[in-house]
Structure 1
Amino acid sequence: MPPNDDPLVSTDWLAAHLDDPKLKVIDASYKMPGVLPLPSEDYLKAHIPGAVFFNVNTIADPDDPRPHMYPGAEQFARDVSALGISSDDTVVAYDSGGWVAAPRAWWMFLSFGHPDVKVLDGGLRKWVSEARPTESGQVSPKPGKFQAKLDPSFVRSKHQLLKNLETNREQLVDARPRPRFEGTVAEPWSGRRSGHIPGSRNVPYADLFDPNTGTMKSLEELRRAFNGGGVDLEKPIVTTCGSGVSALVLTLALYRLGARGTALYDGSWAEWGLPDGPPVATGPA
Structure 2
Amino acid sequence: MISPANNIVSAAWLNQQLSDAVLAASIVVLDASAFMPDVPRDPQQEFIDVRIPTARFFDFNHKIAAPNTDLPHMLPSADLFTTEVAKLGVNNTSHVVIYDSQGMFSAPRGWWMFKAMGHDNVSVLDGGLPAWLAAGYATQTGEPAAIESGDFCAKFRPNWVIDADTLCQKLDDKQIQIIDARPSARFLATVKEPRAGIRSGHMPNAKNLPFGNLLVNGHFLATEQLKQQFDGLSNNQQQLIFSCGSGVTACILALAAQQAGRDNVTVYDGSWTEWGANENYPVVK
TM-score (norm 1): 0.93
CA–CA distance in structure 1, aligned partners of residues 44 and 70 of structure 2? 22
Structure 1 counterpart of 2:198: 192
CA–CA distance in structure 1, aligned partners of residues 98 and 237 of structure 2? 28
Q: How big is the shift at 1:111?
A: 1.1
Structure 2 counterpart of 1:69: 74
Please identify runs of 4+ aligned residues in structure 1 that moved more than 3 A. none
Q: Does the aligned pair in 2 maintain the 1:271–1:277 contact within 8 Å?
A: no
Unaligned 5+ residue runs, structure 1? Answer: none
Of residues 164-173 and 3-12 in structure 1, the stretch that sits farther from structure 2 once superposed is 3-12
Letter in 2 for 1:15: N
Q: 1:112-123 to 2 correspondence within 5 Å?
A: 112-123=117-128
Structure 1 counterpart of 2:275: 272
Structure 2 counterpart of 1:53: 57
Q: 1:231-242 to 2 correspondence within 5 Å?
A: 231-242=234-245
Structure 1 counterpart of 2:107: 102
Structure 1 counterpart of 2:143: 138
TM-score (norm 2): 0.93
Q: How big is the shift at 1:133?
A: 1.2
Of residues 159-168 and 52-61 in structure 1, the stretch that sits farther from structure 2 once superposed is 159-168
Within the alignment, does 1:260 sit opposite 2:263 as a pair?
A: yes
Residue 171 of structure 1 aligns to a residue in which SS?
strand
Within the alignment, does 1:201 sit opposite 2:207 as a pair?
A: yes
Q: How big is the shift at 1:244?
A: 0.6
CA–CA distance in structure 2, aligned partners of residues 84 and 190 of structure 1? 38
Structure 2 counterpart of 1:219: 223
CA–CA distance in structure 2, aligned partners of residues 67 and 276 of structure 1? 19
Structure 1 counterpart of 2:34: 30
Q: 2:180 aligns with which of 159, 168, 174?
A: 174
Q: 1:12-23 to 2 correspondence within 5 Å?
A: 12-18=12-18, 19=21, 20-23=24-27
Residue 172 of structure 1 aligns to a residue in which SS?
strand
Within the alignment, does 1:43 sit opposite 2:47 as a pair?
A: yes
Q: How big is the shift at 1:102?
A: 0.8
Q: Does the aligned pair in 1 maintain the 2:104–2:127 contact within 8 Å?
A: no
Q: Does the aligned pair in 1 maintain the 2:101–2:130 contact within 8 Å?
A: yes
Letter in 1 for 2:240: I
Structure 2 counterpart of 1:91: 96
Q: Does the aligned pair in 2 maintain the 1:172–1:200 contact within 8 Å?
A: yes
Unaligned 5+ residue runs, structure 2? Answer: none
Q: Does the aligned pair in 2 maintain the 1:30–1:99 contact within 8 Å?
A: no
For 1:158-212, what per-residue CA distance to the aligned partner results, in whole angstroms no more than 9, with x for missing partners?
111111124343100001111011111111122211111111011110111113x
Residue 187 of structure 2 aligns to a residue in which SS?
helix
Aligned-pair identity (%): 39
| CA RMSD in angstroms, aligned pairs only | 1.5
CA–CA distance in structure 1, aligned partners of residues 247 and 94 of structure 2? 26
CA–CA distance in structure 1, aligned partners of residues 237 and 225 of structure 2? 17
Structure 2 counterpart of 1:7: 7
Residue 164 of structure 1 aligns to a residue in which SS?
coil
For 1:78-119, what per-residue CA distance to the aligned partner results, in whole angstroms no more than 9, with x for missing partners?
010111111111100001126611111111111111111111
Q: How big is the shift at 1:4?
A: 7.6
Residue 165 of structure 1 aligns to a residue in which SS?
coil
Structure 1 counterpart of 2:160: 154
Within the alignment, does 1:111 sit opposite 2:116 as a pair?
A: yes
Q: Cα–Cα, structure 1 residues 156 and 275, in superposed 2: closer, same or farther, change >3 Å?
A: closer
Q: Does the aligned pair in 2 maintain the 1:49–1:133 contact within 8 Å?
A: yes
Q: How big is the shift at 1:220?
A: 2.0
